[in-house]
Amino acid sequence: MRILLIKPKWFIRNGLYRFVNDIKFTPLHLGIIAALSDGHDVKIIDADWEEIPFNENFDLVGITVTTFTSEQAFEISSKFRNKGSKVVFGGVHPCLMPDECLEHADSIVIGEAEYVWPELLKDAEKDVLKKTYRNEKLVDMKDIPFPRRDLLTESSWIACAQITRGCPNTCRYCYLPNVPWRTFRKRDIEDVYNELKAIRQKVIFFVDDNLFADVEYAMELFDRIALLKKLFSVQAPTTITENKLLLSKLKKAGCFNVQMGFQTVNPQSLEWASIKQNRVDKYKDIVTELHKYGILVTAFLMFGFDTDDKNIFQAAVDMVKNVDMDDAHLYILTPYPGTEMYEKFKNEGRLLDGHERTHFGWANAVFKPELMSAEELEKGVKDAYGQLHRHFSRQLPRKIFMRIPWLIKNPSLLYTLIKGTLGKKNVVNKLD
């Protein structure tokens, strides 16, 4: 069969990823699906960087679907189905909204695909696709093949890799507690080493939700991959600085940046959102400690919790400045359809009408906050971004000077720091 695997466009106007122009978030899961499709002619399209080949004929089209790409996926599916292709949806949205997805696809996959994809391919060849393929058990990480990177469009200087799946935390805003693959699992360290060794790029972004859920495993991993002399960025919880040995191994392994979910400067919001691992009074110590090891800190901050009022925006800006963050990304609390939070806001009559699904990408207020209006929430984030743009622009020369030897050896990172990460764009204009 001719198979087409598609990741719809993420970089949409006014969307969460509107500021990222040079980093490709590789759809590794599609690469894995391709690796499980031996004997078939497979093509992968990342719609952020490539045109979808609607003029070509495919027997089977697989589309990975999130809430904020669902309307795109429905339109893409319709075009291919009209040409006679069978269309399968997988990803987060079919798990949360299976009935809706079945209205727009011939079949859906609920849960991880590794154990059901071979059966699906056999059924597709016989033209007897089931409506739903549900993975009833967690995938053993040893059963996950290396992704077909030859079919992926990766940057010349940075690649993505996944080492673990799932997260033990139960933060209220997160979709993970609502999907089947939420249980934390980890890959064999030697397999990880061999995959990273085969990646031609020197810089890696680990896409794991929480690589540090098993600290002993993380330290053993860092010891092993340090031999590769790669550089990497990783998402990390605020608790990692409690373990100095972990930080030492993290640095030696090549970590240059952690993306950390501080989420809020309001202790009441931490409690409301069940973010049990964070303490606001520790934020400055956390950043200071990571800087001692030469690791840049990117803060993730979220706004719109029921305990947030209009003062939260300035408080967050002041915190970012005072603790010397290297960068910050601001999110608006977004309830995905099919989650408990969505149902809560729906039952309370707080969901706002008229929002396209593209607005469910953490950049728009799609509900009425408790202590401010939706307009005030969006304006507060916009104004905070404006202040931080000016702050990071002023701080950029100092940040570069502190890391001149390191950046000279890695000019691609210098370019990224200047253009996007530290030299924040004028996002005020971007938000208009």
Query: Per-residue pLDDT tens for 339-382?
Result: 999 999 999 999 999 899 989 989 899 999 999 999 999 999 99
Q: How far apart are CA 410 and CA 216, in angstroms?
A: 30
Q: What is the mean pLDDT of the chain?
A: 91
Q: Is the domain 155-431 a CATH 3.40.50.720 member?
A: no
Of 23-27, 161-165, 190-194, 308-312, the one with minimum mean pLDDT is: 23-27
Q: How far apart are CA 106 and CA 87, in angstroms?
A: 5
Number of alpha helices (DSSP H) and beta strands (DSSP E) in the chain: 16, 14
Q: How far apart are CA 276 and CA 282, in angstroms?
A: 13
From residue 358, give the alpha-carbon distance in Å to each of 6, 63, 152, 368, 407: 17, 16, 24, 18, 36
Q: How far apart are CA 117 and CA 5, in angstroms?
A: 13
Of 30-39, 45-54, 160-169, 404-413, the one with minimum mean pLDDT is: 404-413
In 44-154, which ranges are continuous DSSP H helix?
70-82, 92-96, 98-102, 117-125
For residue 267, how many other CB atoms are within 10 A of its CB?
14
Query: Could you tell me the residue ranges of all domains in the chain?
Result: 2-134, 155-431
Query: Per-residue pLDDT tens for 70-89?
Result: 999 999 999 999 999 999 99
Q: Residue 419: its pLDDT value, please? A: 63
Strand 41-46 relative to strand 164-165: parallel, antiparallel, unpaired? Answer: unpaired
DSSP 8-state class, residue 311: T
Q: What pTM was computed for the model? A: 0.92
Query: Per-residue pLDDT tens for 218-267?
Result: 999 999 999 999 999 999 999 999 999 999 999 999 999 999 999 999 99
- 423 band by pLDDT with thresholds 50, 70 and 90: very low
Please state the CATH superfamily assignment of the domain spanning residues 2-134 in this structure. Answer: Cobalamin-binding domain (3.40.50.280)
Closest of 92, 16, 70 to residue 332, by C-alpha: 16
Where do the DSSP E strands lie in 354-412?
Answer: none
